[in-house]
Amino acid sequence: MSYGLTVLGSINLDLIVQVAALPKAGETVTGGAYTALPGGKGANVAVAAKRLGAETEIMAAVGDDDYAAQALVNLDKEGVYLDAVRRVDAHTGLAFITVSEDGENQIAVASGANAAYAPADVPKLCSDVLITQFEIPTHVIESALEGYEGFVAVNASPVRDGVDRILNRADLIIVNEGEAAQYDLKSHPGLVAVTLGSKGAELRKDGKLIATAKPPKIDVVDTTGAGDAFAAALTVALAEKQSEQDALEFACAVGALTTTRLGTQTASPTRAEADAILGR
């Protein structure tokens, strides 16, 4: 592609336990299967975008610990540029994820290096497209956006207060139904994509519905990385100048394909897989 894409966000190591059913409050569920996989919303988006064909770099922080190498392995393997990844005096971000047989999940995150990330750690943005999320400090994002004139996509997750300046700058905001209810996006002048789980997604512009799409029928294994893959796919498709309808259909297909495999980065589909399921 002729454009460059920067992801400004988090890098984690996901510690995953698969169980028959998610534990209730105060309950211990035994007999689980364990695996450790690279994660973090920023890293997930970066891998997804690279697999879909975008020349991608990530600006992020990891700790000076043994977890860092495990967290970076997929980014390095996929060819995401890592020159802007900083080592900071904190542990690498960790996500503790429980996944049930029906694909639902519970996640607790120890932010570590992601919370210690500072504006001074972020070089000047030079790419045409930026994707960011709220697993890093908001003042880091605000600082990075100063003077930036490229396309800004904000996956406004997890929900945070005090992010109006970032949302107002966004050309594209991506949220799920629960997140959409927490923000006042009805008057946002740009694009707002709302994911609806198995029902698909909607895309609005200037508050008006301009596109809807449904995901292809698939067998769900793990829903953990679907939102990140959707965000990457929609941003990549719009950067390619696909129509809003085609871009939303593409993003729904990529999100759905991600749920057919365990994990986040390892589950992201290739461009060929996404195009094939859409018959393109």
Q: Is residue 226 part of a domain?
A: yes
**Assigned domain for 120 exists:** yes
> Residue 241 and residue 259: Cα distance in Å, rounded?
26
8 A C-beta contact, residue 36 and residue 217: no
Cα separation, 175 vs 168, whole angstroms? 15
Q: Flag whether 130 is in a domain.
A: yes
Task: Give pLDDT, residue 23.
Answer: 95
* Containing structural domain, residue 209: 4-11+40-92+113-277
Does the residue 170 lie in any domain? yes
> Whole-prediction pTM value?
0.91
Domain presence at residue 34 = no
pLDDT tens-digit series, residues 196-221: 988 999 999 999 999 999 999 988 88
What pLDDT score was predicted for residue 223? 83
State the total domains in the chain: 1
The helices-and-strands tally (H runs, E runs) of the chain is: 9, 13
Any catalytic annotation for residue 76? no
Q: Taking Cα atoms as reference points, which of 166, 141, 10, 5 lies closest to residue 88?
A: 10
Q: Which of 173, 233, 163 is CA-nearest to residue 203? A: 173
Concatenated DSSP letters of 70-109: HHHHHHHHHT-B-TTEEEESSPPEEEEEEE-TTS-EEEEE
Query: Is the residue at 249 inside a domain?
Result: yes
pLDDT in the model for residue 3: 53
- Which is nearest to 233 in space by CA: 214, 217, 212, 255? 255
Place of tokens 């941003």: 235
Could you say which of 66, 184, 228, 275 is catalytic? Answer: 228
Walk along the chain (280 residues) and give the pLDDT tens digit of each residue.
445 999 999 999 989 999 999 999 999 999 999 999 899 999 999 999 999 999 999 999 999 999 999 999 999 999 999 999 999 999 999 989 899 988 788 989 899 999 999 999 999 999 999 999 999 999 999 999 999 999 999 999 999 999 999 999 999 999 999 999 999 898 899 999 999 988 999 999 999 999 999 999 988 888 878 999 999 999 999 999 999 999 999 999 999 999 998 778 989 999 999 999 998 8
CATH of the domain at 153: 3.40.1190.20
Amino acid in position 51 = R
Q: Is residue 192 part of a domain?
A: yes
| 24: in domain | no
DSSP letter, residue 250 = H
